[in-house]
Chain A
Amino acid sequence: MLVLKALSCGPKHGYAVAEWIQQTSDEVLRVEEGALYPALHRLELRGLLAAEWGVSDNNRRAKYYSLTSAGRKHLAAENQTWDRLTAAIARVMQTA
């Protein structure tokens, strides 16, 4: 979901996705960066992402991922579920 969100504002390569997640979460979400790649590939196989080889800012060959329409729909759905879930948890926590 985070990966999908990361790609929602345009195509990125794997490194950029990792950076984006780290930065926007203020370095709270830190994982082994390598684990990102199986996730990316899995999403690609599920048709939520499309991949394309391109040239990076520093002129290296890089694989760019972008959201497909299916990916967009999936992200929206995930978003909703997430909102409902956090809201529910928040309500439960408030009662205490």
Chain B
Amino acid sequence: MALEWLKAVRLKLKALMNRKRLDRDLDDELAFHLAMRESMSQVDAKDACFAARRQFGNAARFKETCRELWTFIWLESLLQDVRYGVRLLRKNLGFTIVAVLMLALGIGANTAIFSLTYQVLLRHLPVQHPEELVILRSPGPQLGHTSSDGAGSASSFSYPMYRELRDRNSVFSGLLARYPVSLSVAGQGFSERAAGELVSGNYFETLGVRPALGRIFTAQDETSPGADTVALLSYGYWTRRFASDSNILNKQLTVNGVALTVVGVAQDGFIGVQIGQIPDIFIPITMKAQMTPGWNGLDTPRDYWIALLGRLKPALARDQAETALQATYYAVLQDELPIFKLRKKTSELFLQKKIFLDPGSHGRPILQAEIKQLLIFLVAMVGLVLMIACANLASLLIAKGEARQQEIAVRLSLGAGRGRLLRLLLTESLLLAMGGGLAGTAVAAITLRTIVGAIPQSFGANGLEARLDYSVLLFAAAVSLLTGVLFGLMPALRVTRIAPEGPLKGHGSNLAGSVANVRLRKWLMVFQVAMTVVLLAGAGLFTTSLIHLQREDLGIRTGHVIQFSIAPGMSRYSPAQTIALAGRLKESLAALPGVKSVSAAEIPVFTNHDVGANITIAGYVSQEHEDMNVNQNWVGPDYFSTMGIGLLRGREFVNADASGAPKVAVINQSMAKRFFPAGDAIGRVFTFGAGDVHPDIEIVGVVADSKHTHVRGQPQLFVYLPFAQHETLSEITFYLRTGQEPAALTPQITKTVAGYDAALPVYHLKLLLQQIGETVFSDQLLASLSACLGALAAFLAAIGLYGVMAYVVARRTREIGIRIALGATRGNISWLILREVTQMVVIGLALGLAVSFFTGRLIQSLLFGVTANNPAVLALAAGLLLAVALLAGGLPARKAAAVDPMIALRYE
């Protein structure tokens, strides 16, 4: 059947190529028949001709039937429609441009946001059969140290546990382990920070990733701790850093002070197993102790840190595998139990731990969880804008349709089918939509590049690309098609519903139809206003929230401070060497021109890092279950004066607070209030830990509260310690307060550090303000995008209102003329028109505000310092829209007021 059909299509195509011949052949064939019949007949020529034709029947009809058989009739009429549509759109160039522009902005915004959503939420990992991947998770007691990220500690496993599960399970065709690390990489002529991934030997094999160069890791690369000195580069890093030079194979790189041999480059397109976290260098997990100085973690089941991903054996369902794995897990837990020496109750809980397999086709869903809400709101906002644009266009098309009623009526009365006419009109709107889609793709590309370019590295969304791949383009095409039908169908249905006699008889007789049209357009307008006010309210809320965030008192003087970090510990510096280097660097940096003061801290501010510990204070009797946890940071001399944190009592750290000197600490006000309400903090001693400990750290100062990790939230209890007394200091961040533009110091800073050690990478080199700005990136994105979209929506609403009201005024010119003739003032007439505008807008506002009221609750969690139902913001949004509306409606109103009654009465 299909073959037959194909054959027919081929024949038809051949005929299509040669239309003229087809027609001629048909004519010839029928003419031949008639001629034969004539010549066979015995009567005279004229009668014979008639007789032949009589016997033959309606030749034209048969010819037409034959022609239809041979051609793709629908294709031809489609082409006709397209040609006609293009001609018409070119004739109404102004309308076409406005419509295409509106659609381009709407579709472009949607496409851009879709691309982001697709890359973060929808795309599978680019590995073989991603649907077979699962992520392991085991909630329950973890006895020892845990290290976890957004996935929670239940997703962290110990290395011994990994090996047992890998070797004893019967459900995975491969079980891989990975742990992300920061690296200091030094090669020939460069040193920099890079993103590393410690991986098990079967990592690439399990994921089905091939080498682009050299080889991938195998089980032979996971032998014994510290022995596997090899590295594999990601394709992106190889291209970026080594310009795709294949000579890199078998060369050595110094990574965190260890010489590693590059054995390969991973396949192009492989981005690791966690979206947003793209590794540059892969290193065998057995190198853990060398890569994270001061912490091994390979040797004990008490360290929970590795994320595990498994590939299910083919055709094995996830729940089946989960059930089958419990027995293995239980056996391993029982083997581990003696190591922990637990009390009976805890060991019961420990043995009850279950293992769960979560779907892993999208990789570890950390970024997804973090920005899902943000993306959904963006999708909703751009969707609203597109709906507004659709409503607007539908309204314009209704007006245009009315102008074309004569034409349509002629077509209908000449026998055009309603379906055929509908198709004609829809073709027109689809053409518009396609134009909008094409232009929208350009808009999307620009928008996307702007957004992706603005994403700071610290946002954890690395590797997002501003690209429009085929799935995104497909989306754009689908959206264009949908919008075309959405805004085109209703006007087309209305226009073709008219009875043909009406418009042909002349104007005025179709008043009922146009009254209905006006009503419909007004409702479309109300809808637009409502949606616009929702968007404006959102924009107002997000902007207010951002302003609050930016004005929030952080307790730090943020202007004129530049920061940078170094990690000497990653370049084989001992803590003592690091402390010495920090001291020398401080002096050199302070000597730079324009620098007022310099200090340093172990944990940089506003980077989402915090470290806390329990304390025991001499002479403080804690309640049972009292939370004795305080945040801590190790800082250098002059830290508080450099950061602008006010010193309330006592002193700050000085050079004399060195290793070996008496241990000292400075606490913040919150901590002083909490533990020393009598104001006697200075001179008291405490220490870290609980139980049988000896407090030996003396409090020498109290400073004002300041925020440390994020702009949101309250200042925490904080204790500062001098980093010179830090026994495992490895990383350090400097802060320079300057009298001039701090960014100008950038080259001198790198030069100064390189002067001490050229192999020491400098990173996080930026203004403190920039660092803080990055922590509110998503708020900035929401505020600026929603403001843009709100403005766009308001603009569309203005165009729409103007269009509707201009139309209303034109319709009512005669009525207005009569009114003026009867003594109505210009003011009366203006009000007549403006009243209609106000009516529409007020209904729209009421609806919109009601919707905002409900959607407000959904966005509350994204807001800071403002409630979602903030009346001032809502009133502002409403007021703004009302002003825009009156402006847009004011022009037609003025035109109405200027109507000359004489002309108006002669009108029509």
Confirm or deny: A62 has a beta carbon within 8 angstroms of a beta carbon on chain B: yes
**Please, how many angstroms separate the alpha-carbon atoms of A34 and B4 in the complex?**
26
Residues B25 and A63 in contact, CB atoms below 8 Å apart: yes
Query: What is the chain B residue whose CB lies nearest that of A38?
Result: B65
- Give B840 Cβ to nearest chain A Cβ, in Å: 57
**B12 partner, pick from A13, A32, A33, A45, beta carbons under 8 A:** A45
Confirm or deny: A35 has a beta carbon within 8 angstroms of a beta carbon on chain B: yes
Residues A35 and B32 in contact, CB atoms below 8 Å apart: no
Confirm or deny: B37 has a beta carbon within 8 angstroms of a beta carbon on chain A: yes
**Stretch of A2-10, A53-61, A86-94 at the chain-chain interface:** A53-61
Query: What is the chain A residue whose CB lies nearest that of B33?
Result: A15
Confirm or deny: B626 has a beta carbon within 8 angstroms of a beta carbon on chain A: no
Confirm or deny: B66 has a beta carbon within 8 angstroms of a beta carbon on chain A: yes
Indicate the size class of the contact surface on chain A. Answer: 20 to 34
Query: What chain B residues lie within 8 Å of A62 (beta carbons)?
Result: 29, 32
Confirm or deny: B163 has a beta carbon within 8 angstroms of a beta carbon on chain A: no
Query: What is the chain A residue whose CB lies nearest that of B9?
Result: A45
Residues A15 and B62 in contact, CB atoms below 8 Å apart: no
Residues A63 and B39 in contact, CB atoms below 8 Å apart: no
Query: What is the chain B residue whose CB lies nearest that of A44?
Result: B11
- Give B480 Cβ to nearest chain A Cβ, in Å: 35
**B32 partner, pick from A34, A42, A47, A61, beta carbons under 8 A:** A61
- Give A25 Cβ to nearest chain B Cβ, in Å: 15
Residues B69 and A34 in contact, CB atoms below 8 Å apart: no
A-contact bits for B811-827, CB 8 A (1 contact / 0 none)? 00000000000000000
Confirm or deny: A72 has a beta carbon within 8 angstroms of a beta carbon on chain B: no
A-contact bits for B53-81, CB 8 A (1 contact / 0 none)? 00111110110011001100000000000
Query: What chain B residues lie within 8 Å of A34 (beta carbons)?
Result: 30, 56-59, 61-62
Given contacts A33-B57, A34-B62, A35-B57, contact A45 B11 (CB under 8 A): yes
B-contact bits for A59-86, CB 8 A (1 contact / 0 none)? 0111100000000000000000000000
A-contact bits for B653-667, CB 8 A (1 contact / 0 none)? 000000000000000
Residues B29 and A32 in contact, CB atoms below 8 Å apart: no
Residues B56 and A45 in contact, CB atoms below 8 Å apart: no
Indicate the size class of the contact surface on chain B. Answer: 20 to 34
Query: What chain B residues lie within 8 Å of A32 (beta carbons)?
Result: 55-58
Query: What chain B residues lie within 8 Å of A58 (beta carbons)?
Result: 36, 39
Query: What is the chain B residue whose CB lies nearest that of A16?
Result: B36
Confirm or deny: A11 has a beta carbon within 8 angstroms of a beta carbon on chain B: no
**Please, how many angstroms separate the alpha-carbon atoms of A34 and B33 in the complex?**
9
Given contacts A32-B56, A46-B4, A58-B39, contact A37 B30 (CB under 8 A): yes
Residues B30 and A41 in contact, CB atoms below 8 Å apart: no
Given contacts A14-B29, A15-B37, contact A38 B8 (CB under 8 A): no
- Give A79 Cβ to nearest chain B Cβ, in Å: 20
Query: What chain A residues lie within 8 Å of B57 (beta carbons)?
Result: 32-35
**Please, how many angstroms separate the alpha-carbon atoms of A32 and B37 in the complex?**
13
Query: What chain B residues lie within 8 Å of A33 (beta carbons)?
Result: 33, 37, 55-57
Residues A15 and B36 in contact, CB atoms below 8 Å apart: yes
Query: What chain A residues lie within 8 Å of B58 (beta carbons)?
Result: 32, 34
Query: What is the chain B residue whose CB lies nearest that of A63?
Result: B29
Query: What chain B residues lie within 8 Å of A61 (beta carbons)?
Result: 28, 32
Confirm or deny: B7 has a beta carbon within 8 angstroms of a beta carbon on chain A: yes
Residues B32 and A41 in contact, CB atoms below 8 Å apart: no
Query: What is the chain A residue whose CB lies nearest that of B26?
Result: A37
Residues A60 and B32 in contact, CB atoms below 8 Å apart: yes
In B1-50, the 8 Å CB interface with A consists of 4, 7-8, 11-12, 25, 28-30, 32-33, 35-37, 39
**Please, how many angstroms separate the alpha-carbon atoms of A38 and B25 in the complex?**
14
Beyond A42-B69, A63-B25, 5 additional pairs, beta carbon < 8 A: A14-B33, A33-B33, A45-B69, A47-B7, A56-B32
The 7 closest A-B pairs by CB, nearest first: A32-B57, A34-B57, A34-B62, A15-B36, A38-B65, A34-B56, A45-B8
Some 15 contacts from A to B, beta carbons below 8 A apart, are A32-B57, A33-B55, A34-B57, A34-B61, A35-B57, A35-B62, A37-B29, A37-B30, A37-B62, A38-B65, A44-B11, A45-B11, A56-B36, A61-B32, A63-B28
